[in-house]
Amino acid sequence: MTARPLDFAPAAWQAYRGLPAGELAGQVKRALEWLAADPAAVRADPQSRRHQILEERLPQAAQVWGLPVEAPDGDRWLVVWREVPNVIEIGYIGRAPVQAAG
């Protein structure tokens, strides 16, 4: 299987390039490599979540997914992506929003 190209939104690219060298940058890089290699496996991962509210706001119909990345300091980061023909679009890389207690 051939890795799919990744197309970063400008803010996502800036966030990725701005990560300081270290464990978090490595974990985000590995997550992106996994995504490029096998998006179906990433979707099937129990930690991945579909973000339908974002799908409703986008002009092209495509499922939007979030892949969490655990930072070494316990913080949670998120890679938001969608698969469109011939490419995987990366829309967001950054801290995951804090969920309210239920």
At 12-27, the pLDDT tens digits run 999 999 998 899 999 9
CATH architecture group of domain 6-95: 2-Layer Sandwich (3.30)
Chain segment 60-87, per-residue pLDDT in tens: 667 889 999 988 888 889 999 998 888 9
Judged against a pLDDT cut of 60, whether residue 102 lies above it is answered with no
**pLDDT tens digits, one per residue of 31-49:** 999 999 999 999 999 988 8
CB atoms within 10 A of CB 70: 14
Sequence-ordered list of residues with C-beta below 8 angstroms from that of 9, at least 6 positions apart, any chain = 89, 90, 91, 92
* Per-residue pLDDT at 35: 95
